[in-house]
Amino acid sequence: MPQTLLGTARCIFRRDLTLAARKPADVATPLAFFVIVTSLFPLGVGPEPNVLSKLAPGVLWVAALLASMLSMGRLFAADYADGTLEQLTLSPHALTPIVFAKVAAHWVTSGLLLVVLSPLLAMQLSLPGQATWTLIATLLLGTPVLSLLGSVGAALTLGVRGGGVLLSLLVLPLYTPILIFGAGAVTASASGLDTTAYFSLLGAFLLLALAFTPWATAAALRISLD
Closest CA to 178 of 223, 213, 215, 148: 148
Give pLDDT, residue 204. 96
Owning domain of residue 71: 2-225
Does the pLDDT value for residue 2 go beyond 50? no
Helix (H, G, I), strand (E, B) or coil at 186: helix
Q: Using a pLDDT cut of 70, give the percent of the chain over it.
A: 98
Least confident stretch, 22-31, 43-52, 84-93: 84-93
Checking if the pLDDT of 200 tops 70, the result is yes
How far is the C-alpha of 61 from the C-alpha of 180, rounded, in Å?
Answer: 9
**Distance (Å, whole) CA 191 – CA 207:** 28
In this structure, the chain runs to a length of 226
Average per-residue pLDDT in the chain? 89
Does position 144 have pLDDT exceeding 90, yes or no? yes
> Looking at the predicted structure, is the pLDDT value of residue 178 above 70?
yes
* Rounded mean pLDDT, 14-41: 90
Rounded (10°) CA dihedral 222, 218, 152, 140 = -160
Question: CA 57, CA 64: separation in Å to the nearest integer?
Answer: 11
The pTM is what? 0.90
- 162 pLDDT above the threshold of 70: no
Decide if pLDDT at 211 tops 70: yes
Our count of domains for the chain comes to 1
What are the tens digits of pLDDT across the range 95-132?
888 899 999 999 999 999 999 999 999 999 989 989 99
Q: What are the tens digits of pLDDT across the range 71-96? A: 888 888 888 888 888 888 877 778 88
Q: Give the confidence band of 1 by pLDDT, cuts at 50, 70, 90.
A: very low
Q: Where are the alpha helices (DSSP H) in 73-162?
A: 77-82, 84-90, 95-108, 111-124, 129-156
